[in-house]
Every structure is written in C-alpha cells, then in structure tokens.
C-alpha cells in the first residue's frame, strides 16, 4: 500500500509510533524515526533490524526549529523526497490543576502541539516541491471528550485537531492531505504509567469490551497514509472502540 514511499515518524521508538513504523515497512515504505534520546533510537533500530528491516533514526530537539530544519534537509538529500510525516511523539498528564505548574502545562504544549508545528513546517516545504504528501497527527479520544484531570493533555490534543483541520484546507491546493487519528486507551507504556484506578473504569466502559492494541491504531494510519484515502483530508478519525468517557 505504500510502495517506495518515504515516511518520517516522530516518537517512532516504541508504542504506537513503533507499530506505525512496522505496518508501514510491511507495506514497502522506507521509514525514518525520530526519538527523544540517542539510546532509545538505537534500540528501536535494532528492534526493527531483528524484524528484518533497515531504518534510519534521528533524535533532534523537536522544540528547536533550526535543528528540525537541518534534520529534514538531511533526510531530503538522502532519500530525495518525504512523502509521509507522522507527528506521533507525545506525553500525557494526569495531575489535578492545583498540582500542575505553568511549567508542566507548557511542557505538554511544547511536545504535543508546538513540536507538531515545527516538524510539519519544515517537512511541508519538501512536500510542496514534490507536489504532494500526507501529514498525519496523533490526537486522542480525550481531545473530544476531555478527561477528569491532567488538563494540559486534552488541551494539547484539541489543538492538534484544530491544526489538522485548518492545515488540511491550507495545503489542499498543494495536494498535501492532513489528517489525525484519535486513539482511545491503547496498550503502551503511556497507559502503563497511569494509575490503575484511572484506567480500569475507562476500560470497563469501552463498548467493544477491550483496550486498543497499537496495531489497531497503526492500521488507521496506514489507511490514511495510503492512496485508499486519496479524497480524505481534514478528518480526526476515532480509533477507540466507541469509548466515550
Ligand atoms: P509512548 O510513551 O509509548 O511513546 C511516546 C513516544 O514519544 C516515544 O517514542 C518517545 O520517544 C516520544 N517522545 C516522548 N517525549 C519526547 C520528546 N520530548 N521528544 C521527542 N520524542 C519524545 O506512548 P504511546 O502510547 O505510543 O503514544 C504515542 C502517541 O499516541 C502520543 O502522541 C499519545 O499522546 C497518543 N495517544 C496514546 C494513547 C494511549 O492510550 N497509549 C491514547 C491516545 C493518544
């Protein structure tokens, strides 16, 4: 489905991003992963190698635009193009507002939306030259329904939705599609880090009766990245088992 496409996946070292990488590779894409640290990127490259795939990796500071631009230019000169960008790196929050500092709130915004802006801005320049591309963002179910604490997280993911819908309209004339996937509770380290008492009631309320697996989410990214979605832009696709809490 992605023959010879070149894809960048931020947060591609583990969890949902790692699985998006796998499903893209299984569909004949070439992938470049971004992670937060040299060690985690190196580990992920070995994990992909063990599955039989060669993957390139970088660990730029996603809040440093100059560093991002330099990395994107390096990828462009190495691969000649960038067809797909997946903005997937993200952090969650669960503390009540009285226990959240303005610095905590800013940190969430920095990674979950400001970094999305930075990587997209630099990559779109490459896509415009090629007259087309696909930008995909990882939103969240809580961008639509909110959550009982950790207000920065749903706020940042709501911003991702607004970014997606608006940029889709701006970039449509360049044949660049922009969509988001809004996962529900998905079986990754991010969920393992949350208190049990916060996660269990959510799982109980999921109509499909189970937590999502990274592959459930990655398959939605595959569809939206592929030509099967050639007339779809500006959507936020829920992949949440109809969870509504
Ligand atoms: P995870 O914690 O397993 O992975 C997060 C990824 O983000 C890692 O690859 C990590 O390297 C990267 N990352 C974290 N901080 C970074 C930083 N400062 N700079 C660069 N990269 C950084 O989480 P996950 O569950 O796989 O989450 C992936 C995305 O899915 C996130 O955007 C998250 O908000 C979203 N999401 C997850 C769930 C869930 O239930 N797991 C639900 C909805 C949305």
Q: Is the pLDDT of residue 109 over 70?
A: yes
Q: How confident is the model at residue 203 (pLDDT cuts 50, 70, 90)?
A: confident
Closest atom, ligand 1, to C-alpha of 33: 9
Atom 10, ligand 1: residue with shortest CA distance: 11
Q: How confident is the model at residue 68 (pLDDT cuts 50, 70, 90)?
A: very high
Q: What are phi and psi of 102, to 5 degrees?
A: -65, -30
Q: What are phi and psi of 38, to 5 degrees?
A: -55, -45
Q: Please, how many CA atoms are within 13 Å of residue 144, restricted to the half-sphere of its CB?
A: 18
Class of 6-186+214-239 per CATH?
alpha beta
Give me 221's structure tokens. Answer: 């990214």
> In the 8-state DSSP scheme, what is residue 208?
T
Give me 58's structure tokens. Answer: 């970088």
- Determine the distance from the C-alpha atom of residue 207 to the mean position of all C-alpha atoms in its chain, rounded to a whole number: 25
Closest atom, ligand 1, to C-alpha of 217: 30
**pLDDT tens string 51-63:** 999 999 999 999 9
Q: What are phi and psi of 93, to 5 degrees?
A: -145, 150
How far apart CA 158 and CA 156 sit, in angstroms, is 5
Residues 212-235: what's their mean pLDDT? 98
Q: Please, how many CA atoms are within 13 Å of residue 231, restricted to the half-sphere of its CB?
A: 0
Pairing of strands 176-183, 236-239: parallel
Where in the sequence numbering do the catalytic residues fall? 153
- Sign of dihedral through CA atoms 181, 48, 43, 120? negative
Mutate to test the pocket of ligand 1, among 13, 190, 203 (most ligand atoms within 8 A of CB): 190
Q: Is the pLDDT of residue 48 over 70?
A: yes
Mutate to test the pocket of ligand 1, among 15, 48, 86 (most ligand atoms within 8 A of CB): 15
Q: How many CB atoms lie within 10 A of CB 182?
A: 25
Q: Do 62 and 108 meet the contact criterion of CB atoms below 8 Å apart?
A: no
Q: What is the pLDDT at residue 245? A: 65
Give me 90's structure tokens. Answer: 């993200």
């Amino acid at each position: 489905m992605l023959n010879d496409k070149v894809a960048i996946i931020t947060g591609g070292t583990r969890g949902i991003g790692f699985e998006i990488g796998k499903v893209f590779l299984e569909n004949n894409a070439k992938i470049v992963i971004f992670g937060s640290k040299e060690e985690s990127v190196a580990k992920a490259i070995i994990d992909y190698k063990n599955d039989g795939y060669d993957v390139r990796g970088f660990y730029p500071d996603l809040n440093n635009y100059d560093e991002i631009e330099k990395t994107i230019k390096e990828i462009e000169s190495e691969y000649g193009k960038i067809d797909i960008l997946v903005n997937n790196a993200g952090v969650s929050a669960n503390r009540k507002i009285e226990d959240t500092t303005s610095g905590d709130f800013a940190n969430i915004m920095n990674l979950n939306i400001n970094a999305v802006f930075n990587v997209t801005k630099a990559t779109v320049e490459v896509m415009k030259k090629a007259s087309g591309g696909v930008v995909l963002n990882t939103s969240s179910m809580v961008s639509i329904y909110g959550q009982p604490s950790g207000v920065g997280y749903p706020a940042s993911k709501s911003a991702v939705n607004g970014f997606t819908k608006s940029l889709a309209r701006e970039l449509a004339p360049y044949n660049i599609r922009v969509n988001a996937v809004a996962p529900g509770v998905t079986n990754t380290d991010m969920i393992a880090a949350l208190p049990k008492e916060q996660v269990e009631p959510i799982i109980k309320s999921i109509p499909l009766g189970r937590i999502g697996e990274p592959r459930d989410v990655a398959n939605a990214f595959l569809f939206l990245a592929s030509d099967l979605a050639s007339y779809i832009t500006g959507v936020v696709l829920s992949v949440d088992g109809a969870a509504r809490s």
